Amino acid sequence: MADTAPREFAARCQPVQRVDGGTDGTGDFESVVPPSPERGDLKVGEHLYWLRPRLRQRFIATVLASGELEVEGCRYRSPSDAATACAGSPANGWTAWRLEDGTLLDKLRP
């Protein structure tokens, strides 16, 4: 959930496009940030944070087993797709999202 998120967020929330072209929210998804317990980086269910203090916004994304990020019930294949939906304009999700300890997601980039 986001604190003081833009009201238009729900309108920007679009289903993730499946690799096979479907958009029904099921099936195999192209994974951009696959969780990897073997590497010890991201874990399924882990939260990523994007704080925008000047705008008084805080977004929380959850890492899914497919490697997607879920923000406010919407699934995104890339960190930038999630950040762009939150911001309402193009955003680099790799440098926006952080782990709880403050590490930028970009530091874990494959």
Encode pLDDT of 65-106 as tens digits.
Answer: 888 899 999 999 889 999 999 999 999 999 999 999 999 988
Q: Taking 70 as the threshold, does the pLDDT of residue 63 lie above it? A: yes
Q: Look up the pTM and report it.
A: 0.69
Q: What are the phi and psi torsion angles at 9 (to 5°)? A: -55, -45
Q: Where are the domains of the chain?
A: 9-16+30-101
Render pLDDT for 22-36 as a digit per residue (tens, 0 to 9): 343 333 334 455 556
Q: Taking 50 as the threshold, does the pLDDT of residue 8 lie above it? A: no
pLDDT value of position 108? 81
Q: Helix/strand/coil (H, E, C) string of the chain?
A: CCECCCCCHHHHCCCCCCCCCCCCCCCCCCCCCCCCCCCCCCCCCCEEEEEEHHHCEEEEEEECCCCCEEECCEEECCHHHHHHHHHCCCCCHHHHCECCCCCEHHHHCC
